[in-house]
């Protein structure tokens, strides 16, 4: 009788499916958390925009955001719990840059580079120490704003710089005349709608032509606490010209200034390249606290340059184009060629 009763009891009981119960047992053995009924996965990598139904989409978005908040809190607690954990520096765009064969890490190692630079167009300046002789012109019919710019800029370069008005001559003719008169550099400043916009820099006897785009010009007067500079030859700082093309540009810009700096004058001119933008700054420096600190006073104008074209040969010649900044080059945020 008792057995019958027990059988009846057994008969009424609902049996679990064998595999399911086994799963639970296995998980308990492993020590994992039991899966919640319904099975919520984490929404961290779920693309909410896949859902076409608006209401549902909003729902799931809310859920996702809540989850993100929670994970953030957890992470923060972890951070505070271990203060000794190594702090990683955040990655910047400069770190993510593609590094080619053109990138120059250490100039001393690269003999080829050094040999090339011995023979290049600027050897007169770097090897023999010949001072540059610069001629400055403008586009046709320059405006007052251009003249103001020239007033600021002309004295920054060495003593041997002269301004000649443009007067309907073509650049080809100007090149000829300046070579005859013994100039070594030709700078043409061009403007667009009364704002200075371009610089064409031609190194004269055979030299390469650079086409720059000039932006963000602040004149001396608008710089707070600016100083007046003297005639001393300035020192040069050329920062972060990393690739071969960059080095060409850097050398070209260095060749605009007199070859021997006079340290007494304490004048510095910097061309700093950051992500293909070349920043020009002009300072006077002073060492303080027995050489522990430097104090800088800004002197001249500020502007930025972007290289648009580097071509061998003079302006009109069909020389080989070493670098031309096309639109596709700079679509990527991490692109940098100098």
Q: How many residues bind another protein (CB under 8 A)?
A: 33
Single out the segment in contact with another protein by CB under 8 A; choices: 180-188, 201-209, 244-252, 289-297. 289-297
Q: How far is the CB of 19 from another protein (least distance, A)?
A: 58
Among 35, 72, 172, 194, the residue binding another protein under the rule CB under 8 A is: 172
In terms of Cβ atoms closer than 10 Å to its own Cβ (0-12, 13-18, 19+), residue 77 is exposed
> Which residue in the set 237, 320, 321, 324 belongs to the binding site for another protein (CB under 8 A)?
237
Among 68, 263, 320, 321, the residue binding another protein under the rule CB under 8 A is 263
CB of 287 to another protein, least distance (A): 6
SS3 per-residue string spanning the chain: CHHHHHHHHHHHCCCCCHHHHHHHHHHHHHCCCCCCCCCCCCCCCCCHHHCCCHHHHHHHHHHHHHHHHHHHHHHHHHHHHCCCCCCCCCCCCCCCCCCCCCECCCCCCCHHHHHHHHHCCCHHHHCCCCCCCEEEEECCCCCHHHHHHHHHHHCCCCCCEEECCCCCCCHHHHHHHHHHCCCCEEEEEEEECCEEEEEEEEECCCCCEEEEEEEEEECHHHCCCCCCCCCCCCEEEEECCCEHHHHHHHHHHHCCCCCCCCHHHCEEEEEEEECCEEEEEEEEEEEECCCCEEEEEECCCEEEEEEEEEECCCCCCCCCEEEECCHHHHCCCCCCCC
Q: Which of 124, 215, 230, 309 binds another protein (CB under 8 A)?
A: 215
Among 86, 101, 128, 290, binds another protein (CB under 8 A): 290
Query: Which of 203, 281, 284, 311: binder of another protein (CB under 8 A)?
Result: 281
Q: Does 287 bind another protein (CB under 8 A)?
A: yes
Query: Least distance from C-beta 266 to another protein, angstroms?
Result: 9
232 touching another protein, by CB under 8 A: no
Is 216 a binder of another protein (CB under 8 A)? yes
Draw the binding track, 54-93, toward another protein (x: CB under 8 A; -: no contact): --------------------------------------xx
Per CB under 8 A, the list member of 285, 320, 324, 332 interacting with another protein is 285
169 binds another protein (CB under 8 A): no
Residue among 79 and 172 whose Cβ is closer to another protein: 172
User: Rule CB under 8 A: which residues touch another protein?
Assistant: 92-94, 170-172, 215-216, 237, 239, 263-264, 268, 270, 272, 274-275, 277, 279, 281, 283, 285, 287, 290-291, 294, 296, 304, 306, 316, 327, 330, 333
């Amino acid at each position: 009788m008792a057995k019958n009763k027990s059988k009846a009891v057994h008969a009424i009981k609902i049996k679990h499916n064998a595999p399911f119960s086994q799963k639970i047992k296995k998980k308990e053995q492993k020590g994992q958390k039991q899966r919640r009924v319904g099975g919520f996965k984490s929404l961290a990598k779920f693309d909410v925009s896949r859902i076409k139904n608006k209401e549902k989409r909003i729902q799931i978005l809310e859920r996702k955001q809540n989850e993100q908040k929670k994970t953030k809190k957890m992470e923060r607690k972890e951070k505070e719990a271990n203060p000794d954990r190594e702090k990683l520096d955040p990655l910047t765009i400069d770190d993510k840059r593609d590094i080619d064969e053109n990138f120059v890490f250490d100039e001393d190692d690269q003999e080829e580079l050094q040999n090339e630079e011995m023979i290049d167009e600027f050897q007169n300046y770097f090897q023999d120490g010949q001072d540059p002789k610069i001629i400055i012109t403008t586009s046709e019919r320059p405006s007052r704003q251009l003249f103001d710019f020239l007033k600021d800029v002309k004295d920054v370069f060495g003593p041997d710089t002269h301004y000649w008005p443009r007067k309907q001559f073509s650049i080809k003719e100007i090149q000829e005349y300046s070579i005859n008169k013994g100039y070594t550099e030709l700078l043409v400043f061009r403007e667009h709608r009364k704002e200075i916009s371009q610089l064409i820099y031609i190194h004269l006897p055979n030299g390469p032509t650079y086409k720059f785009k000039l932006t963000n010009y602040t004149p001396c007067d608008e710089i707070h606490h600016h100083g007046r500079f003297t005639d001393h030859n300035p020192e040069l700082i050329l920062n972060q010209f990393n690739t071969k093309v960059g080095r060409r540009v850097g050398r070209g810009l260095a060749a605009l200034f007199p070859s021997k700096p006079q340290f007494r004058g304490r004048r510095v001119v910097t061309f700093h390249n950051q992500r293909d933008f070349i920043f020009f700054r002009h300072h006077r420096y002073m060492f303080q606290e027995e050489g522990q600190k430097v104090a800088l006073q800004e002197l001249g104008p500020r502007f930025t340059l972007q290289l648009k074209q580097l071509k061998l040969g003079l302006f009109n010649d069909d020389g080989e184009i070493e670098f031309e900044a096309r639109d596709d080059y700079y679509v990527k945020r991490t692109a940098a060629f100098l």
